[in-house]
Structure 1
Amino acid sequence: MTDAPRAGEADQNTRRAQRLPYCVAATKVIFVLALLRLFAGPMTKDLLDEELLPMPTWEWALCALTPAILIYLARRPENWIALAGERTFLMIALSFYLLYSLAFAAFQGVWILWIGVAAGLGGFAGIWYLNRREPAHAR
């Protein structure tokens, strides 16, 4: 009936906390790759007079899921506090994914990008919820 974690739970929490920087790094790398992929199509059109890559569709929706997954994985108060320095990056990435997905889903009719819109809105809802949640030590 105490709040002290069992030995197995403490080990699992420690492992999760150790993996968190790798998850943040993976999210940043995926964001940079998504930006390169986004600008590769117009760049090939300018340089080679032929568009070799179309604008991103399904891969953009997958990339848009990564910040939302990171927010879900860091939902424990101690992990969310550890992400204090990365929250601005998460909001920038979510904004970029959301705006691109919404624009192309609404105006170009690319239905798969509605997944990116849902991921962006879900990520912002997760940030809003976790920022307003009562800290664990205050209970």
Structure 2
Amino acid sequence: MSESRDTAQADETAAWLPYGIATVKVIFMIAVFRYFATPFTDDMFGEELLPLPTWEWTAFSITPGLLIWLARRPVDWATLSTERTILRIALTFYFLYALAFSLFKGGWILWLAAAAALAGHLGILYLDGRRSAHGE
């Protein structure tokens, strides 16, 4: 009886996964808004009321990688198959911003954001490769 319960639990996706996906999407929308808020305030009010993102960008960059790490079970990873495009878009956006501004503006904290985004991309590649190696 315990064997059937163990296999049933192994085939079920994590109950938190939809909430994790929604969290990553909301944080991505906040990041896009945050990115465009600086030029908007400069255009509308003549001065930058919000400086360009720094430490919060690192926090934004960590969230997709955290979701990827938590959803590394094959069942959970299969559930994320429809969401991988948005994860890749978010990670690329975080990486390009962090890399550009760490190189040209000297924001050392943004190197952490670039590393987190790159780690997220590598996590996707690894889990996709692992899944294809198992023939799924």
Same fold (TM over 0.5): yes
Matched, 1:60 2:57: yes
Q: Percent identity?
A: 52
Q: Runs in 1 of length 4+ with deviation above 2 angstroms?
A: 4-7, 134-138
TM-score (norm 1): 0.87
Q: How do 1:42-61 residues align onto structure 2 when only pairs under 5 Å count?
A: 42-61=39-58
The CA RMSD over aligned residues, in Å, is 2.3
Cα offset, 1:18, TM superposition: 1.3
> For residue 19 of structure 1, what is the aligned residue in structure 2?
16
Matched, 1:132 2:126: no
TM-score (norm 2): 0.88
SS at match of 2:102: helix
Gaps of 5+ in 1: none
- 1:87-110 Cα offsets, whole Å, 9 max, x none, are 000000000000000001111110
Contact kept? 1:45, 1:51, Cα under 8 Å: yes
Q: How do 1:1-139 residues align onto structure 2 when only pairs under 5 Å count?
A: 10=9, 14=12, 17-134=14-131
Cα offset, 1:135, TM superposition: 6.5
Count, aligned residues = 133
